[in-house]
Structure 1
Amino acid sequence: MSNRSLMILIAGPYRSGTDDDPELMAQNLRALESVTLPLFRAGHIPLIGEWIALPLLREAGSVRPGDAIYDEILYPIANRLLSRCDAVLRLPGASKGADEDVRLARDRGLRVFENLAEVPGCA
């Protein structure tokens, strides 16, 4: 494995299993963020699509998860990020969006890690 720095999209549940409860969604985001520091310390660049999507949603006037603006922005941002990423780290938990990120990554020939220990420098 190469020791070069990888830009890694972290994929896992955000909205899934929350019934759109903002606190549960925030907990899911914190779970996604929990692996960012180890990735950074291993020399990689961690990315989470919601970091970019959430400010865009506010600016565009989204009023609730699943509205037209949400659908216009949230999932497409991950697709755009994948065109710039080297890999995906898929965290546990049911998530259609994260599963789609993994599918797109594999279609594009990107590496997909199933747990943090698989990522170079994070074992």
Structure 2
Amino acid sequence: MSNKKNLMILVAGPYRSGTHDDPQLIAANVQAMTDAALEIYNLGHLPVLGEWFALPLIEAAGSKVIGDTVFNKIFHPIAVNLIQHCDAVIRIGGPSLGADEMVTAGLMEGKIIYYAIEEIFAHT
């Protein structure tokens, strides 16, 4: 491995947006973020998804349905908090207020913002 720093990169993409909370469409969105995470990992970096942290906690906290009070108390706040520990955010996928919120939070924290995997490859 080279002397280049490996980055922790938050993958921010649509989760519920455009799905009408259809579990299959949500799963497809998570798969797209996971696929991007694998590409990032293969470039030598550490990808993270807020979903990896939030969803088990949401379940443990007793959420009954996507978007309930328990879900909303944990889902986006945990990802925003996670950004503080990351070096960068990559925005993937289509329209998503939540993913856009992660980009805004990343900018406010002074993080590197990427909009394509190729940008990560070029930067590192």
Common fold, TM-score beyond 0.5? yes
For 1:75-117, what per-residue CA distance to the aligned partner results, in whole angstroms no more than 9, with x for missing partners? Answer: 0010110010000010021100100000010111100000010
8 Å Cα contact 1:8/1:88 also seen in 2: yes
Shift in Å, 1:3: 2.2
CA distance in 2, matches of 1:59, 1:122: 38
Partner of 1:34: 35
Over aligned residues, Cα RMSD in angstroms? Answer: 1.6
Alignment of 1:1-123 (within 5 A): 3-120=4-121
Using structure 2 for the length normalisation, give the TM-score.
Answer: 0.93
1:22 Cα deviation after fit: 1.1
Identity among equivalent pairs (%): 44
CA distance in 1, matches of 2:65, 2:24: 13
User: Per the alignment, in what secondary structure is the counterpart of residue 8 of structure 1?
Assistant: strand
Partner deviation per Cα, 1:22-79 (whole Å, 9 max, x = no partner): 1111111001101112211211000000011111111011111110001000000101
Question: Is this contact kept in 2: 1:38–1:122, CA < 8 A?
Answer: no
3-state SS of paired residue (1:119) = helix
TM-score (norm 1): 0.94
- Runs of 4 or more, structure 1, over 3 Å off, are 120-123
> d(CA) in 2 for partners of 1:110 and 1:73?
22
Please tell me the residue identity of whatever aligns with 2:76.
Y
Q: Partners in 1 of 2:32 and 2:93 — Cα distance?
A: 10
- SS of the residue corresponding to residue 121 of structure 2 reads coil
